[in-house]
């Protein structure tokens, strides 16, 4: 009987995998991005940042789907701030989740537009110029929205240039001083996605 279990399991797995891939409802996306702060973080004057996001999507209606992911974005300062003297880095990491709407432009088979609306559950870490973490805000909820286009590259590969906005408010405690930190920024990225 054990001899039949492995081939049966493999057969069931292949049938299940084929059913999932034939639906083309799942996607995996990796998107590097440039981040442009829209305001200071406390009294820290942030430079242009960069980062990336990896996300998994599931389309549950013809044009509407959900996504979840993880992202990392980092911003530096050149001057002293509430975080201390000298250069400081502010790293925002955490999770993304929400809905995305992707619909073709008219009758186009290659081009679509996309709209994202969701939340983030992130935290901000403060690093000094030696690379040591001096503070951590703890995770908290924020929000994001985005818009862009999708270009079908063939073989279920898509290119997704997007412009987004993110907002996260956290308190950062350094020593005995607590600073209210609002990290708000525009983000431009070009994602590559595989649909299966």
pLDDT tops 80 at residue 124: yes
Give the confidence band of 91 by pLDDT, cuts at 50, 70, 90: very high
Least confident of 22-26, 119-123, 138-142, 163-167: 22-26
Domain topology for 25-195:
Porin (2.40.160)
Question: Residue 178's pLDDT is what?
Answer: 92
Question: Residue 5's pLDDT is what?
Answer: 59
Question: Residue 176's pLDDT is what?
Answer: 86
**Which residues on neighbouring strands pair with residue 135, listed in sequence order?**
126
pLDDT tops 80 at residue 131: yes
* pLDDT tens digits for range 61-89: 999 999 999 999 999 998 878 887 888 99
Answer yes or no: are the C-beta atoms of 195 and 24 closer than 8 Å.
yes
* pLDDT tens digits for range 7-61: 666 665 555 555 555 467 999 999 999 999 999 998 899 999 999 999 999 999 9
Domain map of the chain by residue range? 25-195
Question: Residue 86's pLDDT is what?
Answer: 80
Cα separations in angstroms, 195 against 11, 61, 84, 109, 117: 23, 15, 45, 15, 20
Answer yes or no: are the C-beta atoms of 134 and 145 closer than 8 Å.
no
In angstroms, the CA 1 to CA 53 distance is: 46
3-state secondary structure the chain: CHHHHHHHHHHHHHHHHHHHHHHCCEEEEEEEEEEEECCCECCECCCCEEEEEEEEEEECCCCEEEEEEEEEEEEEECCCECCECCCEEEEEEEEEEEEEEEEECCCCCCEEEEEEEEEEEEEEEEECCCCCEEEECCCEEEEEEEEEEEEEEECCEEEEEEEEEEEEEEEEEECCEEEEEEEEEEEEEEEEEEEC
**Across 148-172, average pLDDT:** 97
Question: Residue 83's pLDDT is what?
Answer: 81
Closest CA to 94 of 125, 139, 134: 139
């Amino acid at each position: 009987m054990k001899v039949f279990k492995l081939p049966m399991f493999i057969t069931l797995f292949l049938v299940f995998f084929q059913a999932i891939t034939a639906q083309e409802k799942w996607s995996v996306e990796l998107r590097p991005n440039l981040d442009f702060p829209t305001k200071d973080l406390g009294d820290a004057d942030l430079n242009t940042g960069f980062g990336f996001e990896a996300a998994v999507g599931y389309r549950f209606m013809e044009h509407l789907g959900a996504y979840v992911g993880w992202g990392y974005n980092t911003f530096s300062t050149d001057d002293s701030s509430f975080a201390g003297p000298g250069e400081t880095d502010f790293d925002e990491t955490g999770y993304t989740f929400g809905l995305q709407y992707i619909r073709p432009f008219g009758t186009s088979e290659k081009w679509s537009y996309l709209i994202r609306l969701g939340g983030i559950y992130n935290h901000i870490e403060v690093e000094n110029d030696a690379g040591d973490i001096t503070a951590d805000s703890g995770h908290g909820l924020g929000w994001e929205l985005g818009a862009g286009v999708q270009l079908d590259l063939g073989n279920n590969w898509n290119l997704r240039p997007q412009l987004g906005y993110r907002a996260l408010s956290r308190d950062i405690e350094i020593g005995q001083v607590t600073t209210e930190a609002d990290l708000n920024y525009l983000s431009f990225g070009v994602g590559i996605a595989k649909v299966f």
